[in-house]
Amino acid sequence: YVVILRHADGFLSIYKHAASINVGAGDTVRTGEAIGVAGSGGSESTGVHLHFELWKDGHPIDPQKFISFE
């Protein structure tokens, strides 16, 4: 499954390879809310993982400029 969330100011966050999705189209998602469960999708997948992308105004951007992954 793929989840695409629309944020303020032209941002999109995209989550791929979900095993299940906990939100639906038009839902409001709050900070800390689980939007889905990571899965193992793709023909070359070697295990459970999450593919994450951040876009602004139609262009991919480095999410580390906005989010600390540590």
Q: What HEC string does the chain produce?
A: CEEEEECHHHEEEEEECEEEECCCCCCCCCCCCCCEEEECCCCCCCCCECEEEEEECCEEECHHHCCCCC
Cross-strand pairs, 11: 56
Stronger pLDDT, 38 or 41, i.e. the higher one:
38
Residue 16 has pLDDT above 80, yes or no: yes
* Residue of 46 and 29 predicted with greater confidence: 29
pTM, to two decimals: 0.77
Q: Which residue has the tokens 């629309």?
A: 6
Contact between 39 and 17 under an 8 Å Cβ cutoff? The reply is yes
